[in-house]
Amino acid sequence: MSDSTRRDFLAAGLILPAALQAAPEPAAKADLRYRVLGKTGLKVTTVGMGAVLITDPSVVARAADLGVNHFDTARDYQGSNSERVIGPVLKSRRDRVVIATKTGAETRQGVLADLELSLKELQTDYIDILYIPGRKAAAEITDELLEAHRIAKQQGKIRFTGVSTHKGHAEVIPAVVKNPHVDVLESSYNFTMDPSIEALIESARKAGKGVVTMKVMAGGYKNGADAERRRGAMLAALKWVLRNPNVHSTAVSMADTDQLEEDLRAMAEPFSEADRKVLLAQLEHIGPLYCRMCGRCEGACPRGLPVADVLRYLTYADGYGQFAMGRQKFLALPAETRSVRCGDCPSCPVRCPFGVEVAKRLHRAQEIFG
Amino acid sequence: MMKAFALILALIPIAAAAGAAGPDCSVVPGWTQKGPARSYVADNLFEYMDGNAEGYLIYGFQKMQGVTCEKDGDTLVIDISEMADPDSAYGIFASNRDSQQPTLPIGMAGQIQPRRAIFVKDKYFVEIAANPAKDHTAALKAFVTAYEKSISGRTTLPDALTWFPAEGQVKDSIRLIPESVLGLRILKRGYVAQYDYGKAFLVKEATPEAAAGVLAKWKARIGEVRPAQLGDEAFQATDRYLGGLYVFRKGPYIAGFANLKPETDGAPLAAALASRIP
């Protein structure tokens, strides 16, 4: 995507028709907003707690007391210790919260066995949403897995079936839309993604699916940004996600009560021009660190540079402080590739659809690694 | 100077390679590799484990090498993660171990269950997952034994673990919390141990002055605190979510107990902890 398109994409948050903006809900203990999770009928807070990093039950308790009612965990988060942390806290509040978990088991027997463990760890008789996680292709939503979910629903152990996806949206989301046995879609969704994601998310909402989003900060940037700027960008990124009425709730990783309170602000505050500027600055900061490996630059360099690979090596150095690793990878390239100098070309025909300044970044890689 | 720095950085992977080679199926007779070997770094770990990657990055994840082995229809998915240092490697181990199962003396620490084995040695965290559903203990033990030998480096637990008094401590409960100890951002990184009557914590700041500053901020945030008889800055308080608190500073360390029941006197407990902190 070009810079201008990216800016338009971000600006879209400012010009949504008023009718499409979420109607304000009565405030609870914090200034909360709720949306109904598609045909499930579950009314959830637009910000939910993602429990992958939870270590202290006090954060879960405070979230629940403030009125957050959507908790998203997984069997393998912290080797099931995430379920163990949140289960005892939510036990006394079970009728007021929606609990979602995931099992990576790929067989009917495995899913049902994992479900029993989740019920035990979460200290509950039922799971509201059990996800089939991390689907990359439509074929990965197998009949066997859906059969396991059907049995679990029949037994009253789960209420709804979800499918989560981090990549392969163009194939997985239409498959979810078409599948009557899937009730909820959980998808990565953030301000760095291709705008085509918008129509996919909308199609899921229109099909009556509950739509939960994740990775509002584009995944692995935690190590790359300084804490203060990251926190500011986090709030803006969260507001950007919530400005979309097709999103019912989002699972946000929260490690402490400070972050919890910051994240809750996103529910009540509209996405503003100031937020757009914060995200543009964040894009500028992380853009070079975020080669999406889409492959669209493959073969585009007339000198034969493996552009995406070199950008990734530079990411190791600039984004994650792993200079040695980046250099080692660069030095493993064939000698004729390593000897290419982008400065020798009068202009660069390689264009990144996501706005990475390719020639400048390649030049830097050649300078620091070469 | 810059060249020397670059040289030092360039040598880091070589040193790491000396600590742990990539996993190899043939270390246990009869097992063969299925498919290509895996290799991940921080910026593409999400491709392998989706959202769970965050739980690795937070412990200073550097890289992962993995392989899938098979024998007679059984498969073992083996991954060796290199973390920032032995403390961080212990941290991810403690965060991923089954708290209801015993910890074994494998490397620094380990666990073997019917379908899963994990252990930590030096800065390496080793995970093996077995399929299909049945008891794979024998195979897991064989691989764990082989890999434990092949990884060189530290086998002793982080020193701080020994500072927590043993009396009343829930076995194998000590965790390294990489961010926000007790769910508080001001307590950046430290250890937490569960006790029958609450939990002990230990956070290290860069200097005694920095620790004093954090303690002052925490006191101000709580508001109503009572002085405690353990140095000038110690305090007691009752927090809605953290229960009874007894907090003190010793040098750069902020430590104490939280979630103490009303009937528990935190003073002797904190004194015992303080006496063990160097």
pLDDT at A2 over 80: no
Q: What is the mean pLDDT of residues A286-299?
A: 69
| Band of pLDDT at residue A320, cut at 50, 70 and 90 | low
Q: In this predicted model, what pLDDT tens digit does every residue of B56-107 receive, in sequence order? A: 988 989 999 999 999 999 999 999 999 999 999 999 999 999 888 899 999 9
pLDDT at B228 over 60: yes
CB-nearest to B183 from A110, A164, A256 is A256
Distances (CA, A) of A208 to A244, A250, B69: 16, 17, 42
Do A268 and A153 share a structural domain?
A: yes
The encoded tokens of residue A109 equal: 């027997």
pLDDT of the residue at A53: 85
Residue A166 domain-assigned (yes or no): yes
Question: Of A325, A329, A330, which to mutate for an interface test with B (greatest number of B Cβ within 10 Å)?
Answer: A325
Say how many C-beta atoms besides its own lie within 10 A of residue B252's C-beta. 16
Same domain, A354 and A230: no
Q: Minimal Cα distance from B180: which residue of A?
A: A256
Q: Which chain A residue has the Cα nearest residue B117?
A: A79
B33 reaches A (C-beta below 8 A): no
Instruction: Confirm whether A349 is domain-assigned.
Output: yes
Domain boundary among A248, A272, A296: A272
pLDDT at B28 over 90: yes
- Examine residue A295 and state whether it is found in any structural domain, yes or no: no
Tens of pLDDT along B247-269?
Answer: 999 999 999 999 998 889 999 99
Tell me how close the Cα of A258 comes to any Cα of chain B, in angstroms: 6
- Last residue of a domain, which of A221, A245, A272? A272
Q: CB distance B50–A134 less than 8 Å?
A: yes
Looking up residue A50, the CATH number of its domain turns out to be 3.20.20.100
Say if residue A6's pLDDT is above 90. Answer: no
Q: In this structure, are A242 and A343 located in the same domain?
A: no
Q: Is the pLDDT of residue B202 over 80?
A: yes
Cα–Cα distance for residue pair B134/B74, rounded to 1 Å: 10
Give the DSSP H/E element, type plus range, for residue A363: helix A358-369
What's residue B176's pLDDT? 94
A241, A121: one domain:
yes
**Partner-chain contact B58 A53, CB within 8 Å:** yes
pTM over 0.80: no
Q: Cα–Cα distances in Å, from A99 out to A64, A93, A366, B105?
A: 12, 11, 49, 36
Q: What pLDDT, on a 0 to 100 scale, did the predictor assign at position A311?
A: 83
The answer to whether B83 faces chain A, any CB pair under 8 Å, is: no
Which residues in chain A have Cβ-Cβ distances shorter than 8 Å to B222? none
Is A56 in Cβ contact with B181 (below 8 Å)?
yes
Q: Please give the residue range of the domain that contains residue A260.
A: 16-272
One of 3.10.129.10, 3.40.1000.20, 3.40.50.720, 3.30.200.20 is the CATH number of B159-276, namely: 3.40.1000.20
Q: Give a yes or no: residue A10 inside a domain.
A: no
For chain B, which residues make up each domain, given as ranges?
A: 18-150, 159-276
Tell me what the mean pLDDT of segment A229-237 comes to: 80
Nearest-neighbour CA in chain A from B87: distance (Å) = 17
Does B185 reach chain A within 8 Å, measured CB to CB? yes
* Number of domains comprising chain A: 2
A77/B179 touch (CB, cutoff 8 Å), yes or no: no
Put simply, the answer to whether A107 touches B132 (Cβ < 8 Å) is: yes
Higher pLDDT, residue A224 or A351: A351
Q: Is the peptide bond before B132 cis (omega within 30 degrees of 0)?
A: yes
Model confidence at B1: pLDDT above 60: no
Same domain, A170 and A314: no
Residue A25 has pLDDT above 50, yes or no: no
B81 touches chain A (CB under 8 A): no
Report which of residues B75 and A323 the model is more confident about. Answer: B75
pLDDT tens for each residue of A167-213: 789 999 999 999 999 999 999 898 888 788 999 999 999 999 999 99
Chain B, 110-169: which have a CB under 8 Å from a chain A CB? 118, 132-133
Q: Which two tokens stand for residue B46?
A: 């999400």
Q: How many residues does chain A have?
A: 370
Q: Which among A59, A84, A315 is the nearest to B43, CB-wise?
A: A315
Query: How open is the CA angle A24-A29-A30, to the nearest 5 degrees?
Result: 60
Q: Strand A70-72 vs strand A98-102: parallel, antiparallel, or unpaired?
A: parallel
pLDDT digits 0-9 by tens, B117-163: 999 999 999 999 998 889 999 999 999 999 999 999 999 999 999 99
Nearest by CB to B95, which of A59, A78, A328?
A: A78
The yes-or-no answer to whether B18-150 and B159-276 have a common fold is yes
Q: What topology does CATH give the domain B18-150?
A: Protein Transport Mog1p; Chain A (3.40.1000)
Complex-level ipTM: 0.77
B8 pLDDT exceeds 80? no
Interface of A with B in 206-225 (CB under 8 A): 214-215, 219-220, 222-223
- CB atoms A56 and B180 under 8 Å: yes
Residue of B9, B11, B43 best to disrupt the A interface, most CBs of A under 10 A:
B43
Which of A338-347, B16-25, B70-79 is most confident? B70-79
Instruction: State the pLDDT confidence band at A23, using cuts at 50, 70 and 90.
Output: very low
User: Which of the two residues, B214 and A222, has the higher pLDDT score?
Assistant: B214
Per the structure block, which two tokens stand in for A313? 């090596």
Residues A130 and A261 in one domain: yes
User: Are residues A316 and A261 part of one domain?
Assistant: no
DSSP string over B67-126: EEEEETTEEEEEEEEE-SSHHHHHHHHHHHS-TTS--B-SBTEEEEETTEEEEEETTEEE
Give the least confident one: A92-101, A118-127, B91-100.
B91-100
User: Which of A76, A81, A166 is closest, CB to CB, to B99?
Assistant: A81
A340 and A201 in a common domain: no
Mean pLDDT of chain B: 89
Supply the pLDDT for residue A204. 98
- What is the DSSP track for chain B? -HHHHHHHHHHHHHHHHHH-PPP-GGGSTT-EEEEEEEEEETTTHHHHHGGGGHHHHTTT--EEEEEEEEETTEEEEEEEEE-SSHHHHHHHHHHHS-TTS--B-SBTEEEEETTEEEEEETTEEEEEEEESSS--HHHHHHHHHHHHHHS-S--SPPGGGGGS-STTBPTT--EEESS-GGG-TTS-SEEEEEETTEEEEEEE-SSHHHHHHHHHHHHHHH---EE-SSSTT-EEEEETTTEEEEEEEETTEEEEEEEE-TT--HHHHHHHHHHH--
Mean pLDDT for B24-53 is 89
A186 and A335 housed in the same domain: no
pLDDT (0 to 100) of residue A146: 98
| Statement to judge: residues A163 and A255 lie in one domain | yes
A184 or A20: which carries more pLDDT confidence?
A: A184
In the predicted model, what is the mean pLDDT of residues B212-222? 93
When pLDDT is averaged across residues A56-78 and rounded to a whole number, the result is 94
A198 in a domain, yes or no?
A: yes
Helix axes A358-369, A323-331, angle to 10 degrees: 90
Model confidence at B229, pLDDT cuts 50, 70, 90, reads confident
Over 70: is that where the pLDDT of A22 sits? no
Structure-model confidence comparison of residues A149 and A334, the more confident one: A149
User: Which residues of chain A lie closer than 8 angstroms to B11, CB-CB?
Assistant: 324
Residues in CB range of A367: below 8 A, 6 or more apart: none
**Inter-chain CB proximity A257 and B241 less than 8 Å:** yes
User: Residues 27 to 46 of A: which have CB under 8 A from any B CB?
Assistant: none
Give yes or no: residues A330 and A268 share one domain. no
From chain A, pick out residues whose CB is under 8 angstroms from the CB of B62: 322
Residue A220 to residue B43, Cβ atoms within 8 A: yes
Q: Which residues contact A365 (CB under 8 A, 6 or more apart)?
A: A310, A311, A313, A314, A326, A330
Q: Which of A225, A255, A272 is the last residue of a domain?
A: A272
Exposed / middle / buried, residue A114 (Cβ in 10 Å: 0-12, 13-18, 19+): buried
Q: Is the pLDDT at A94 greater than 70, yes or no?
A: yes
Positions of A marked active-site: 77
Minimum Cα–Cα distance from B53: chain A residue: A220
DSSP letter, residue A157: S
In this prediction, what percent of chain B has a pLDDT beyond 90? 73
In this structure, are A52 and A154 located in the same domain? yes
Confidence at residue A21, expressed as pLDDT on a 0 to 100 scale: 36
Q: Give me the residue from B13, B185, B242 closest to A324, CB to CB.
A: B13
